[in-house]
Amino acid sequence: MNVAVAVHEAHPEALTGAGEAGPAPKRIVVAYGFWIFLLSDIVMFSALFAGYAVLVRATAGGPAGPQLFNQTSVAIETACLLASSYTCGLMSLAIVSRRRYSTYLGAAVTFALGAAFLGLEIREFAGMIADGATPQRSAFLSAFFALVGCHGLHVTIGLVWLVVMMAQVAVKGFAAAVERRLACFSLFWHALDIIWVGLFTVVYLMGVSP
């Protein structure tokens, strides 16, 4: 009993288990938790990547990568996603300095670029399916649609999330909770860009190079 009291008096912060600065502020804890989620998402993508790498030669006599992929379209998609990551970063700066219209502008540009990416990807998928390269055609195509489609699904969710966040900014203003959610959104959006880097390298560039 005495020992415990003595320890408590000597190091009042020792019992929090959070180091010298005391418990971390909520925005740091929230960002950490969301970061853990993002890493688990990346681990899920790694399984899809592994499946694709294993099945890339299993075309079952159907079309293979070089016949299907259009590098120009992939380059435009990459540029869209990269630019939207940049405008998302500028949007988070506008949020920090409480500039409401810059925030809306950043969100609008981010949304437009993300939607352009998604539109190009859907057009590519539709073209492939029209040519008979459906997910049912071969194991390679199943793995391709699973991997790239899962990323596209994430982008779609990100776009919906962005619209919801802008509605929250319009209604609630820059409340602490809204700001934390916006920080999580920008983490999510940047992480999607990281996954796309691995994706265009493994699927589109390694797939067409001899």
Provide the binding-site residues for other proteins, judged by CB under 8 A: 19-22, 24-25, 27-28, 31-32, 35-36, 39-40, 42-43, 46-47, 49-51, 53-54, 71, 75, 78-79, 82-83, 85-86, 89-90, 92-93, 96, 179, 183-184, 186-187, 190-191, 193-194, 197-198, 200-202, 205-206, 208-210
Q: How far is the CB of 127 from other proteins (least distance, A)?
A: 21
Neighbours of 120 (CB within 10 A): 16
Nearer to other proteins, 83 or 108 (CB): 83
> Are 52 and 202 contacting, i.e. CB atoms less than 8 angstroms apart?
yes
Q: How far is the CB of 62 from other proteins (least distance, A)?
A: 19
Q: How far apart are CA 77 and CA 81, in angstroms?
A: 6
Nearer to other proteins, 89 or 149 (CB): 89
Q: How far is the CB of 129 from other proteins (least distance, A)?
A: 25
> Are 74 and 125 contacting, i.e. CB atoms less than 8 angstroms apart?
no
**Which DSSP string do the residues of 79-121 spell out, in sequence order?**
HHHHHHHHHHHHHHHHHHTT-HHHHHHHHHHHHHHHHHHHHHH
* Helix, strand and coil percent figures for the chain, each rounded to 5: 80, 0, 20
Nearer to other proteins, 108 or 193 (CB): 193
Nearer to other proteins, 90 or 146 (CB): 90
Q: How far is the CB of 133 from other proteins (least distance, A)?
A: 21
